[in-house]
Amino acid sequence: MALDPSNGYVAARGLQDLDENALPIFNVEKVSLQFAIASDFVAAQVANNVLVLALSNGRILRIDLDNPADIDDIDLPKKTSEVGVIRRMFLDPTASHLIICTALGENYYLHTQSRQPRPLSRLRGVSIEAIAWNPALPTTSTREILIGASDGNIYEAYIETATEFYRKEDKYLKSLQKIPDGPITGLWVDAVSDVRKPDVRRVMIASQNRLLHLVGKIGRSGHDGGASIFTKLFETEQPTVHEISRISATATSSLVVSPDAPDSTSLESLTPDRIFAWLSSQGVFYGRLVTTPATPDLGNKVFDEAKLLPRSQLPASESSTGRKKPVQDSVDSIVLTQWHIVHLVGRRVIAINRLDDRVVYDQVVLDPGQEALGLYADQQKNTFWLFTTQEIFEIVVTDEDRDVWKVMLKTEHFDAALRYARGPAQKDAVATASGDYLVSKGSFIEAAGVYGKSSKPFEQVALIFVDNDQQDALRKYLLTKIGTYKKSSIMQRIMIASWLIEIFMSKLNSLDDTIITKAELSETLNPEQTKNQLETIRTEFQEFVKKFKSDLDRRTTYDIISSHGREEELLFFASAVNDYNYVLGYWMQRERWKDVLDVLKKQTEPEMFYRYSSGLITHVATDLVEILMRHDDLKPRNLIPALLNYDRNFQGPLSQNQAVRYLLHVINQLDSTDAAVHNTLISIYASHPSKDESALLSYLEAQGDEPSFDSDFALRLCIQHSRVQSCVHIYSTMGQYLQAVELALEHSEIDLASLVADRPLSNPALRKKLWLAVAKKVISQSNGIKTAIEFLKRCDLLKIEDLIPFFPDFVVIDDFKEEICAALEDYSRNIDALKKEMDESAQTATNIKIDIAALDHRYAIVEPGEKCYICGLPLLSRQFFVFPCQHAFHSDCLGRKVMEQVGLGKGKRIRELQGQISKGLLAGAKRERAIAELDGLVASAW
């Protein structure tokens, strides 16, 4: 047995995939069945996509609508003849618990995981008419539930699944109260949220002519399932009663509650209060199940806000003659959707919008003679069903809240209308109507925010606020409106943004004037409140600038703010758009050096430092240099003009010169080799009025032999400013020792000249020349000859004969007799040493001559089988050479070998001699000399 998946339930669901605006809100679809029905339906329930059908033969069908082929066929433990036909079924919202009631008072419990209904012994004989499930919706057991009986009794029961045979399903049954009005037709329990009272419950009880509302705290002893929790509530609290008169004994009475919201993101989920509806003989009494305040007065509030939809407002049915006739049939059943009340009246299904009582659906669904079981709602899945004794219908709800915004708009509930409006057109209609309404009530501020989101012409709205002198409302409107324009609407955004700047400035000035004059801005706003408002407006202005700075024209904005004299706002705008040039220039013009430095500290762009250093360094040099030293990415040469300008006006010592401090930082810490930086430091050192050259000399000495400065430039500066020691040092590093010595001697710096004269150690001649120049100066300035001679003993190159020409003519020999004697003794010692060397050289020459003479008698022994080392042929076959190393070669072989290795000149001579000898061109002594020369050339080359 299965439901037909090709149509019926599945097909009805597929309709929602169509264009929703083309579909009616309600549509009743018949669900086709693919299983045989042995008997009629006598009861039905649906919950959590599970459909439970009771047949007249006592069978129960449990169908999973997500899988229609999955059908459980369940039989009662006893036959229908013994317990009676199934009269009612109650299924909890999770489809976990099913209570089955028979006509003879037998009650059974069936759990979703069981296929065997078990009798509820404690409930035997109780004719159940209504059940209020536990709001916690447990699945393993029912926990505490309320049961309403046909005799007016209300019970509390606790039912759980019994796994052992001897264990009963109904854990306990407690009688709470009896309503004297006849059967209980409806029960509802929910939890009223209250942090201070977490155990507060609401109970609603419906009978034929009364609706009762109780709210109060329940007991705690029932948490373990051992005792009643509702006894305390029923014993201590008095119900709030809504009663009707003129009841009809045949009229249907029931209590229904709206289902869960379709999903967590739906619009309805924004309003958590459920809707209740009580069907009585007068009609449908419905309202919100508000949850606050959690006091006994809650019932009065619920009933006061509720309203009655009388039967007379239901549309008349047509008679067989086609004429309308009043509704006289009672309403058989009702069900609540999210926004509508669906009635089953005879064979018709009527849906009425509960917001405005408008009929949105009225259709004859049942055929004549069909008997309906009633309307049912799946609380969790938000589906709605109509069951007859033989057929199943689904009431498909499509886009139910599409017209809610219109109803809200008509009733002037604009916030709710805007919440439920869809698409720009609907939202615009709501915004425009809401704005017009607020303006008519004088609520210009509120209207501004609403108008800003509407399409009402900009000029009309602006004129409304201008004509009514509502600057605050105009500001709010413009702030809202500018956000609605696209980025491509450049001109509109710039115009509105500029207008807002003007409005902000005027407002700030107005508040400032009020504070200064200590006058009240209005009857309700005192000066202290004005100050608070000033800060609020200033903050609002700053937030506006940050958000819309790209829409503000800089020149226009500067002009507007400047015209109002708003310095703080002017600088804030400049900072917001990163126009720090403007900020720095502003403070520089006013000579607010501290403010300039505060801004400069936050900058990272090198151009900022280059541009403003010249003006700052003359006033706050120390602080500026501190900032500059923190930025390693600066190019120091770009700061040189500022440093030189500062040095030109500086009067203090070099140790306090901030230009020198920065340049030394760049050279020593940043290892700069830029010649411009080094030359600038030398220029400052050399041009300083102080005669002390220690700082300059220390720098020059630290540079070593490969300085980074321009030596010619440094030399000119030092000469220009008479920095003798520095000039001498520079000359020395350039290798110009003679000029260095001459310069030192020119300024009578004898010691300095002596130090320089000793430096060219690798050039004794130059060193001697330098010392002669020093000697000449020393002798010319010395008062005593001995003093001059003692000084000149510092050099080991100078002799007394070198110094004699420098002494004056009147000097007598006695003044340096000792020196002359010492020199003569040295000469004598040198002569003796030379003689000894000469004797040794003569002896060596004699020995060489003897060795040369012995060479004529030297010989070598050649064995008979000796071969030439080049050609390999017998050596004795022709003329040959034998060397002391015992290598032997034919003369012609050796000649050819030598020709391959010697130069062009010697090779040419060897060929000439070989030709002359071989051709017989020479004879006698010439031939001998030619042969000897040839042998010498060949032998020497090899």
* Reported confidence tier of residue 711, pLDDT bands at 50, 70, 90: confident
What pLDDT is attached to residue 292?
A: 83
- CA dist 645 and 624 (Å) reads 14
Q: What confidence tens digit (pLDDT) does each residue in 616-670 have?
A: 888 888 888 888 888 888 888 888 888 888 888 888 888 888 888 888 888 888 8
- Give me the residue spans of the domains in the chain: 9-319+326-404, 875-941
Q: Among 373, 191, 335, 202, which Cα is nearest to 258's?
A: 335
User: Is 383 or 615 the better-scoring residue by pLDDT?
Assistant: 383
- In terms of average pLDDT, the best of 113-122, 876-885, 893-902 is 113-122
- The top-level CATH class assigned to 9-319+326-404 is mainly beta
Residue 942 has pLDDT above 80, yes or no: no
600: its two tokens:
């400069």
Distance CA 234, CA 488 (A): 67
Alpha carbon distance 411, 102 (integer Å): 48
Range with the lowest mean pLDDT among 156-165, 396-405, 747-756?
747-756
73 versus 327: the higher-pLDDT residue is: 73
Q: Is the pLDDT of residue 438 over 90?
A: no
**pLDDT tens digit sequence for 252-294:** 899 999 998 776 444 444 455 799 999 998 999 999 999 888 8
Q: What is the mean pLDDT of the chain?
A: 81
- CA dist 61 and 401 (Å) reads 34
Looking at residue 19, its pLDDT comes to: 38
**Above 70 in pLDDT, residue 235?**
yes
Give the C-alpha separation, 855 to 860, whole Å.
12
* Residue 465 contacts residue 530 (beta carbons within 8 Å): no
CA angle 697–701–707, rounded 5-degree value: 115
- 660-701 pLDDT tens trace: 888 888 888 888 888 898 888 888 888 888 888 888 888 888
Lowest mean pLDDT of 58-72, 166-180, 730-744, name the range. Answer: 730-744
pLDDT at 864: 82
Across-strand partners of 43?
Answer: 54
- Which residues share a beta bridge with 376? 385
More confident residue, 524 or 189: 189
Greater pLDDT, 267 or 844: 844
pTM of the model: 0.57
Which pLDDT does position 373 carry in this prediction? 94
- Confidence category of residue 145, pLDDT binned at 50, 70, 90: very high
Report the share of the chain in percent with pLDDT over 70.
Answer: 82
**Which tens digits make up the pLDDT trace of 462-491?**
898 888 888 888 888 888 888 888 888 889
The predicted model gives 68-83 an average pLDDT of 88
Comparing 156-170, 639-653, 830-844, which segment has the lowest mean pLDDT? Answer: 156-170
372 beta partners: 388
Q: Which range has the worst mean pLDDT, 197-211, 360-374, 853-867?
A: 853-867
Backbone angles phi, psi at 804, to 5 degrees: -55, -40
Backbone angles phi, psi at 294, to 5 degrees: -80, 60
| Arithmetic mean of pLDDT, 307-325 | 73
pLDDT at 760: 66
| Both structure tokens of 547 | 């958000």
- Of the given ranges (570-579, 773-782, 809-818), which has the lowest mean pLDDT? 809-818
Task: Give me the pLDDT at residue 329, please.
Answer: 65
Residue 47: φ, ψ to 5°:
-160, 140
Alpha helices by DSSP H, listed for 590-674, are 593-600, 606-617, 621-629, 640-649, 658-664
Would you state the pLDDT for residue 531? 82
Residue 773 reports pLDDT greater than 70? no
What is the pLDDT at residue 330?
Answer: 80
Residue type, 228: S
Q: What per-residue confidence (pLDDT) applies to 521?
A: 46
Q: Is the pLDDT of residue 873 over 80?
A: yes
Give pairs for 357-366: CB < 8 Å, separation 24+: 357/309, 357/313, 358/407, 359/314, 359/315, 360/24, 360/25, 360/26, 361/24, 361/25, 361/26, 362/315, 363/28, 365/28, 365/393
